[in-house]
Chains A and B, each alone.
Chain A
Amino acid sequence: MGEVVLSLKDFRVSFKTLLGEVQAVRGIDLEVRAGEIFGIVGESGSGKSVTFLGMMGLLPKSALIGGSAEIGGTQLVGASKATMRAVRGKRIAMIFQDPLSALNPTHRIGAQVVEMIQSHTEMSAKQAMTRAIELLDIVGIPQPTVRARQYPHEFSGGMRQRVMIAIAIANEPEVLIADEPTTALDVTVQAQILEVMQRIQAQLGTAIVLITHDLGVVAQVADRVQVMYAGRAAERGIVDDIFSRPSHPYTLGLMRSIPALAGERLTPIAGSPPNMLYPPPGCAFAPRCEYALPICTQSIPDLRPFGELETACVRAEELQLGVVAHG
């Protein structure tokens, strides 16, 4: 495995609202290594997107950010605007679910790639355009010279997402954050985009953080995965280990809810996620967990080693859910 390129320590995000403080991310520790695809899985409101938007300085002013987020020695929490500008697009780039709203409808595609190149390098306009066309070619856009002169509305959803990837990798960042990059796309187009991302990771060695709600997507492309629930990590490990021997009741619950894995009858997770204005004491999953004991609500569990994985379930050893998952 490569060296650590991005590291978060006790990373926190909360939002000030009229009703109080919504604690969206409540202490995340993680390290992303060079050249890996790191999957972040969770359902709506688990804090998976907010963590990385907060890290990139892309949240509104009402967001309070705490802890530490470092990319190769540069601290991002509390960094100046100039520092953030130097990092965004150069060392960390991000792509989103909806590529249409991320592209400027009045500028040609080529010019938008050139803008990104020139914002971090001294390249001449001509050189930058040559590079832009090369990038469009790398992400699999046919006839890149012609397409560079077109506007976003002339591109399909999948092609727009390819353009976003081209812009994101323009300056060969160490880390690419992909926030639900295929959620808005049809499944045959999703397959194309995942293929592009895997190729980029293999060719350029870019570390990719893939944020998604789709366990299938993670299984297909990720090397490691972290499962998130209520702003905390539930468990983390190599994809094969997590899928074959989940240690956390929440992960097991997710898997039993998926029609492809469940048998005749699906097993939903009872209840609903907690209100993050008042997160429950201890393990946030305890109120919905069939295995919860009084000990679960005493203190917030941190990730700790458990076999090949890291888990936040205090009962992981006695429960041995991996065995249950196969039974």
Chain B
Amino acid sequence: MAEPILEVANLVKEFEVRGSRGLRVVKRTVHAVSDVSFHIEVGQTLGLVGESGSGKTTVGRSILRLLEPTSGSVRFKGVELVGMGGADLRKLRREMQIVFQDPYASLDPRRSVGDAIGEPFEIQNISGDTKKKVADLLELVGLSGDHARRYPHEFSGGQRQRIGIARALALNPSMVVLDEPVSALDVSIQAGVINLLEDLQRELGLSYLFIAHDLSVVRHISTDVAVMYLGKLVELAPAEELYSRPAHPYTQALLSAVPQPNPVGERNRQRIVLQGDVPSPINPPSGCRFRTRCPIAQELCAIEEPALIDRGQGHPVACHFPTTHLVEMVGTAAV
């Protein structure tokens, strides 16, 4: 087994918010991430999927300490990041970078692309031929060195995302958190950025945490996939295993809800249409957090929280009644 570059154990992130009960202002706690553990091996990609409010972005930001974890441990190359102070943290941040979803919002419109990509060198006090380095980085992501003098508005969405990637790679990181890096892009442009990410990973030996809601993109790029629901990890498995034999009811519902670009297959497909919406993370359901929408929930699910247990296939599932045949049990053929 390869060496884990990142080990996350029992990560918890809670936010205090002000709510009201009648006219009284009360403090409430949003349980954004609850007791999440996983690890990423060198040169591999962990896909983190979930719907809005599942806590996947909060996990990414807590790992980088862009958010302060409430509790738990994040070890990067064996070094504990939680509680680490300023100078040490800054040094480690060279090695862990992030690419954001919105390539329009993450670049300063008044700074040239060269300045934006060169900024990490300034912050980290790295001397040398910054211009040359910036030109090399632009070429690495499939743009031209001349582009350094231009401004963000002169680039398309796909090109801007490449600039965001170049900036993340400026300091030779070994790990990159990719937070919905292709969600804002059209599919024909998205394909080029995905290919670029795969090439860079191979050439530079990068490890990725790939956060996304698009399940087919995640399947394509990930070595392993973790599924989150309402702040909890519900299932974790090698990508092909997860997609071919999902065992958690939520994972199965999620996969069956994704429309495939195949009209004949879609017509004959059995699908699990979940009822209702995701409950509030302020007051998550007792026991299993998915039980309020789960088609096979039983009494036990409300009483006892299912642990994320590996039942011997290297495929941990947090469910009291895991089954790979949920579609046959409760699915309805598409109308």
Contact = CB atoms under 8 A, between A and B. Distances in A.
A244 B264 CA distance: 9
Which one of A44, A191, A215, A265 has the highest number of Cβ atoms from chain B below 10 Å of its Cβ? A191
Contacts of A191: 256-257, 259, 271, 273-274
A16 interface: no
B79 interface: no
Contacts of B258: 187, 216
Nearest to A140: B275
Q: Is the interface of B mostly helix, strand, loop or mixed?
A: helix
A32 interface: no
B187 A43 contact: yes
Interface residues of B, number: 42
Nearest to A198: B335
Nearest to B188: A269
B94 to A, nearest CB: 30
A159 B262 CA distance: 28
Interface stretch (A60-68, A130-138, A255-263): A255-263
Interface string A67-85: 0000000000000000000
Contact of B259 (A158, A214, A254, A272): A214
Interface in A221-248: 221-222, 239-240, 243-244
B277 A159 contact: yes
A202 B335 CA distance: 10
B116 interface: no
Given A186-B52, A262-B220, 11 more contacts: A187-B257, A187-B258, A189-B277, A215-B261, A216-B259, A219-B265, A220-B266, A244-B264, A258-B187, A265-B195, A266-B191
Contacts of A101: none
A271 to B, nearest CB: 10
Contacts of A209: none
Interface stretch (B13-21, B82-90, B210-218, B303-311): B210-218
B263 to A, nearest CB: 4
B156 A272 contact: yes
A188 B274 contact: yes
B141 to A, nearest CB: 14
B191 A243 contact: no
A264 to B, nearest CB: 9
A219 B262 contact: yes
B63 interface: no
Interface string A20-50: 0000000000000000000000011000000
